[in-house]
């Protein structure tokens, strides 16, 4: 009973918050709604017994990714409303609605493949005296998924270096000055490049 109530609360709040994210004209509102929606998404993970995934969602998405977006707000002007020119405004809604309809029909059809067996069943670590989702995840991650894990680590390192190099260039020039007096700054950059 509680699961049903929790599911519907989380479902409605995620849908509303993500709709705000997609529709809002203000960057700050969109970002806040996205962060709140991600907190709600982690609620589904807790409901589904994936405790560790829920915690990772909270820490990585709500903590790190949203903080990164919040920092990027310092570079872009977040107070202005965004003006977007839509050439065909209804097309996106029609396509998205059709897609949602197809998904609903597809997933409400009876599921085939009841005989699929679990490769790495839940409760793997119970024999070792430990129990809980985090132990299971650790066992599977560091045995069967060790190579993808290492590849993901290298990928994150590459992404970090790329981010530093891309964002760090010409960091000593203010962007707000750039808007105020473009010509002046261009001279400054040229001068800076020369020396």
Partner 1 sequence: MEIGIGHYLILSGLLFSIGFVGVLRRKNLLMLFFATEVMLNAVNVAFAAIGNYYGDLSGQMFAFFVIAVAASEVAVGLGLLIVLYKKYGSLDLDVIATMKG
For residues 100-139, which are near partner 1 according to CB under 8 A?
100, 103-104, 106-108, 111, 116, 118-122, 124, 136-137
Residue of 9, 28, 146, 148 that binds partner 1 (CB under 8 A): 148
Kindly state whether residue 145 participates in binding partner 1, applying the rule CB under 8 A.
yes
**At its nearest, how many Å lie between partner 1 and the CB of residue 85?**
6
Residue of 155, 181, 184, 186 that binds partner 1 (CB under 8 A): 155
CA distances from 178 to 5, 173, 181, 185, 189 (A): 52, 8, 6, 6, 11
**At its nearest, how many Å lie between partner 1 and the CB of residue 52?**
7
Kindly state whether residue 85 participates in binding partner 1, applying the rule CB under 8 A.
yes
Residues 30-69 that bind partner 1 (CB under 8 A): 30-31, 34, 37-38, 41, 44-45, 48-50, 52-53, 56-57, 60-61, 64-65, 68-69
Give the side-chain half-sphere CA count within 13 A for 42: 18
Tokens representing 118? 């679990």
Residue of 158, 177, 184, 192 that binds partner 1 (CB under 8 A): 158
**At its nearest, how many Å lie between partner 1 and the CB of residue 195?**
20
Backbone angles phi, psi at 26, to 5 degrees: -95, 130
> Which residue in the block uniquely carries the two structure tokens 């029609």?
94
Q: If you ran DSSP here, which 8-state letter would residue 87 be given?
A: S
CA distances from 175 to 89, 144, 182, 185 (A): 32, 47, 10, 10
Three-state DSSP state, 157? helix
Residue of 150, 179, 184, 187 that binds partner 1 (CB under 8 A): 179
């Amino acid at each position: 009973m509680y699961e049903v109530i929790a599911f519907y609360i989380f479902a409605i709040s995620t849908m509303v918050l993500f709709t705000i994210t997609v529709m809002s004209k203000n960057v700050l509102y969109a970002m806040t709604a996205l962060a709140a929606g991600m907190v709600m998404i982690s609620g589904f993970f807790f409901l589904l017994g994936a405790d560790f995934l829920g915690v990772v969602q909270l820490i990585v998405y709500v903590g790190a990714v949203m903080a990164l977006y919040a920092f990027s707000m310092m570079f872009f002007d977040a107070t202005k409303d965004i003006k977007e020119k839509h050439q065909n405004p209804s097309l996106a809604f029609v396509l998205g609605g059709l897609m949602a309809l197809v998904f609903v029909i597809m997933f409400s059809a009876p599921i085939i493949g009841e005989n699929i067996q679990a490769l790495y069943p839940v409760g793997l670590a119970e024999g070792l005296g430990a129990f809980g989702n985090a132990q299971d995840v650790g066992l599977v991650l560091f045995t069967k998924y060790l190579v993808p894990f290492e590849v993901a680590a290298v990928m994150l390192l590459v992404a970090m270096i790329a981010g530093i190099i891309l964002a760090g260039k010409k960091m000593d020039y203010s962007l707000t000055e750039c808007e105020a007096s473009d010509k002046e700054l261009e001279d400054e950059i040229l001068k800076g490049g020369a020396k």
